[in-house]
Amino acid sequence: IPEPCGFQCANQKQPGFYADLDFKCQGFRRCDPNGVLYSFLCPNTTIFNQITLTCDPLGYNVDCSRSVGFYDFSNARLYHENWPLLGSISAN
């Protein structure tokens, strides 16, 4: 995956997984708790789903352009034992 174009872990609210919009969600970034950035590619014919934090088949209900709006929703749940990862999402 290409080097990040402006994406920095220091600009995120918490560690977690972040869709790479510059790469049209065909990859994602991981910020570890120490702020170290890792980059990953999704397998061929898949794109990163920011809600489920998985690589899903192309055309499978993933709108890459809306991913940033879910950064806090999905990543905040990773570090809270009693929060469901796939809770209800507002339609807005």
How far is 19 from 15, CA to CA, in rounded Å?
Answer: 13
Q: Does residue 57 have a pLDDT over 90? A: yes
Q: Residue 19 pLDDT > 80, yes or no?
A: yes
What integer pLDDT is reported at residue 75 of this predicted model? 87
Domain residue extents for the chain: 9-77
- pLDDT greater at residue 7 or residue 5: 7
Q: For residues 21 and 48, what is the distance between their CA atoms, to the nearest angstrom?
A: 10
Sheet holding 16-19, edge to edge: 16-19, 27-31, 37-41
In degrees rounded to 5, what are phi and psi of residue 57? -60, 145
The model carries a pTM of 0.81
Q: Which pLDDT does position 90 carry in this prediction?
A: 55
